[in-house]
């Protein structure tokens, strides 16, 4: 983004989306049809919160994250930059998903997703 400082990015929120109080939404983010974002959540820049996704309270979603349709994030979930969460995924509360992760469609995330460790010498 710093390469093009004169560009104006817009945030698009569908009229059927429900946004709670104290929610911060970064520029260039799109909130799609029937998405729900509950109170005290922070959504980064250039994210997509897709159709019928539910983001519960106190979540932090960093920049360039795609939340696919029908995803449910319980409370206090952290999602790192450049992460994709696949269709219909459920993520339990108090989970940390680090940067650049891909969570497959239909997943149930019950443990934090840590950074990949290189085991080669």
Show which residues are catalytic: 57
Dihedral angle over CA of 34, 37, 43, 49, nearest 10? -20
Q: What is the rounded (10 degree) CA torsion for 78, 98, 32, 74?
A: -40
- b (16+ CB within 10 A) / e for 106-119: ebebeeebeeeeee
The structure tokens 């992460």 sit at: 83
């Amino acid at each position: 983004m710093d390469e093009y400082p004169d560009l104006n990015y817009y945030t698009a929120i569908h009229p059927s989306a429900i946004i709670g109080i104290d929610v911060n939404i970064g520029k260039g983010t799109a909130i799609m049809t029937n998405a729900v974002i509950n109170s005290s959540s922070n959504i980064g820049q250039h994210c997509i919160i897709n159709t019928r996704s539910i983001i519960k309270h106190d979540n932090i979603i960093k920049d360039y994250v795609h939340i696919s349709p029908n995803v449910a994030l319980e409370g206090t979930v952290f999602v790192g930059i450049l992460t994709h969460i696949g269709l219909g995924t459920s993520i339990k509360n108090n989970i940390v998903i680090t940067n650049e992760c891909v969570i497959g469609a239909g997943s149930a995330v019950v443990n934090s997703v840590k950074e990949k460790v290189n085991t080669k010498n």
